[in-house]
């Protein structure tokens, strides 16, 4: 179990897709039994010599679905620090929680409403909240594969921790949403899930985009080995920070 954090460096999405043969939490089809299903994954590392380096990451998701609607919740925690000569420097401080509610208009289309809260101190994001609403279409819905596309309209408000003029201390405005997500069942114990979304915003907040992929394989009694990758992009970062932020993690977890 270990974690590799790649800050301020772009990961090629083709490389991430090649890694997707590893697996994910659940099967392609969401169970419509009105019960919660999901998984929890934990990873981290600790090293001590002349300096002390430690990392911790946690991700969790849960879905409750019926034939009429679906509620999905998720959270991500990533923390890292490095201590040299008794001086501690934080290398990662990310917390993200969010959710989305889908109401099925037909067997292949749905309305949705979602929101997300985030803080990422290393990227100078003191707090960000966003919410959006829109509609989606289920292009593929088989036992082994699901593929949805969606679009909508939303609002986001970001407050920065430290700013250097002329950089503003906050950005807020209306943003559009275009995205897709899919789950591919690879075997009876493994599958892969990915999601990509782009948020074209007003001239004040710019455009941001996120790509996430979660991977796992069941080893015994619900316990899993996990791998995940995430890439985020913003066209107008604070204080000339890098536009791209990347993260790759490995660990273990449990699915329910």
* Distance, CA of 211 to CA of 183 (rounded, Å): 14
Three-state secondary structure call for residue 186: coil
CB atoms within 10 A of CB 204: 12
For residues 148-160, one letter each, b for 16 or more C-beta atoms within 10 angstroms of the residue's C-beta and e for the rest, the string is: bebebebbbebbb
What confidence category does residue 94 fall into, taking pLDDT thresholds of 50, 70 and 90?
A: very high
pLDDT tens for each residue of 80-92: 999 998 899 988 8
Phi, psi of 107, rounded to the nearest 5 degrees: -65, -20
Most confident of 20-24, 63-67, 184-188, 200-204: 63-67
Alpha-carbon gap, residue 216 to 138, rounded angstroms = 24
The average confidence (pLDDT) of the chain is: 84
Burial class (CB in 10 A: 0-12, 13-18, 19+), 29: middle
The label of the residue with tokens 């981290």 reads: 44
Q: H or E stretch including 19?
A: helix 13-19
d(CA 15, CA 8): 17
Give the CATH H-level superfamily of domain 3-255. Answer: monomeric porin ompg (2.40.160.40)
Mean pLDDT confidence for 10-26? 36
Domain limits, the chain: 3-255
86-90, 116-120, 128-132: which range is least confident on average? 86-90
- What is the reported pTM? 0.81
The distance of Cα 130 from the centroid of its chain, to the nearest Å, equals 14
Lowest-confidence region among 23-27, 42-46, 70-74, 225-229: 23-27
- Residues for the chain: how many in total? 256
């Amino acid at each position: 179990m270990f974690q590799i954090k790649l800050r301020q460096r772009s990961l090629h999405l083709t490389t991430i897709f090649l890694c997707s043969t590893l697996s994910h939490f659940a099967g392609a089809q969401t169970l419509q039994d009105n019960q919660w299903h999901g998984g929890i994954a934990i990873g981290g590392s600790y090293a001590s010599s002349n300096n002390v380096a430690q990392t911790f990451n946690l991700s969790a998701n849960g879905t409750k679905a019926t034939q009429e609607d679906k509620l999905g919740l998720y959270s991500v925690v990533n923390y890292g620090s490095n201590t040299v000569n008794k001086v501690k420097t934080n290398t990662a401080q990310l917390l993200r929680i969010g959710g989305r509610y889908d109401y099925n208009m037909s067997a292949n289309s749905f309305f949705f409403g979602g929101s997300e809260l985030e803080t990422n101190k290393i990227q100078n994001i003191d707090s960000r909240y966003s919410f959006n609403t829109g509609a989606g279409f289920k292009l593929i819905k088989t036992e082994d594969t699901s593929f949805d596309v969606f679009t909508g309209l939303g609002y986001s408000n970001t407050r920065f921790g430290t700013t250097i003029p002329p950089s503003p201390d906050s950005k807020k405005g209306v943003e559009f949403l275009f995205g897709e997500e899919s789950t591919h069942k690879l075997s009876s114990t493994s599958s892969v899930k990915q999601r990509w979304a782009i948020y074209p915003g007003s001239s004040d907040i710019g455009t941001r985009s996120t790509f996430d992929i979660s991977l796992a394989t069941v080893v015994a009694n619900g316990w899993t080995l996990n791998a995940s990758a995430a890439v985020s992009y913003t066209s107008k970062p604070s204080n000339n920070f890098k536009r791209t932020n990347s993260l790759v993690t490995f660990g273990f977890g449990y699915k329910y």
